[in-house]
Amino acid sequence: MKNAKALTITYLTPVSFASLNGSDKEADNISNIKKITRGTEQFPYVSAQAIRRALRDQLAVMGKKLSEGVAATIKKSAATTEQDPKTYIDDDLFGYMGTEEGKEGKKGKSTKRTSPIRVSPLVSLHKYEGDLDFATNFMGVAAGGDPNIFETEIHSGLYRGTILIELDRVGCGEGFEKDLSNTEKAARVKDFLTSFKNLWTSGRQTRFLADISPKFIAAAMLLTKNPIFLESVVPANGGVNVELLNETTKDYKDEIKDSVFGARKGLFSSLPDGTVSIGEVFETMSKWIDECYK
């Protein structure tokens, strides 16, 4: 694993009843969910920004000290972080961009760190069927008003997402005067894997509690940087398309250092040979990371 450049993970998560990621309102008293259109059909999705926020929040839940947002030094510029990847795991893994105002007539400068963590949106593989949850807000009644009736778009389906970690960029490069030790690099990637294992987005969870943690995983350590399973993990007959997964690993055998498939028992009827439990997948990936940074 010593010369591996990336760890790619494509995952599936079934959602039975949820309103995962809000969109702009299209009509009064209707809360929409984000959707993409394919032909005449629409498919809900959770934006990559929301997934990254959820992963970052889980690191905070785990007790990791995060780089808090700070105001930009230039008017009307976006807020940024402490921009200290040596101290803060999120500045290292998720990157940042900031601007600094020039002094004494000198031109200002910008600083950035490109995220080593690449994240795709979590896209439903089942179309939106137009379902709405009907609700009433009685808070206005106490103030002498009428109940406020509203609706929320809801969805049930199987969602797919992908993460790619550039292992050779963690703990080094932009923002670092000196590289972190290999031990620290491994610890940060394994902390990230724990946050991913427990993926949970806080948006719209008060009334629509949903579990979006991975239930099927296809993962590989690569000599290149390519999310090879991104379009190859597809449902088939209550399970996954095993032939397509086997073909993918065969096509990229020269680039794959090792690969593993894992699934929650009982959720998928057809799975690749050698599929292990979700817990075993994460144990395997942690071992890969330790070997990579030895």
Contact between residue 127 and residue 42 where contact means Cβ atoms under 8 Å apart: yes
> Residues of the chain with pLDDT > 90: what percent?
73
pLDDT: is 101 or 170 the higher one?
170
Instruction: Using CB atoms within 10 Å of the CB of residue 120, give its burial: 0 to 12 exposed, 13 to 18 middle, 19+ buried.
Output: middle
Query: Residue holding tokens 């600094």?
Result: 100
Q: What is the pLDDT of residues 163-186, one digit of tens each?
A: 999 999 999 999 999 999 999 999
pLDDT tier at 108, thresholds 50, 70, 90: low
Q: How far is CA 81 from the centre of its chain?
A: 20
Residue appearing with tokens 């000290």: 65
pLDDT at 1: 78
Residue 145 pLDDT class (50, 70, 90 cuts): low
**CB-based contacts of 206, cutoff 8 Å, min separation 6:** none
Residue extents of the structural domains in the chain: 6-292
Interval 239-255: pLDDT, tens: 999 999 999 999 999 99
Cβ–Cβ < 8 Å for 135, 151: yes
pLDDT on residue 252 = 98
Give the containing element (helix H, strand E) for 133.
strand 132-137
Q: Tell me the C-alpha distance between 241 and 239, whole Å.
A: 7
Which SS3 state, helix, strand or coil, does residue 235 take?
strand
Q: What is the pLDDT of residues 42-84, one digit of tens each?
A: 999 999 999 999 999 999 999 999 997 654 554 555 668 899 9
Dump pLDDT digits (tens) for 182-213: 999 999 999 999 999 999 987 778 888 999 99
Average pLDDT in the 138-152 region? 70
Contact 229, 8 (CB under 8 A): yes
Q: What is residue 104's predicted lDDT score, i.e. its pLDDT? A: 63
Of the candidates 3, 11, 55, the one whose C-alpha atom is nearest the C-alpha of residue 282 is 11
CA distances from 115 to 118, 142, 181, 204, 248 (A): 7, 48, 19, 27, 26
Q: Which two tokens stand for residue 228?
A: 């090879």
Contact between 161 and 123 under an 8 Å Cβ cutoff? The reply is: yes
Cα–Cα distance list, 90 to 113, 176, 213, 217 (Å): 11, 14, 20, 24
Dihedral through CA 130, CA 131, CA 137, CA 138, nearest 10?
130
Calpha distance 153→155 (Å, rounded): 7
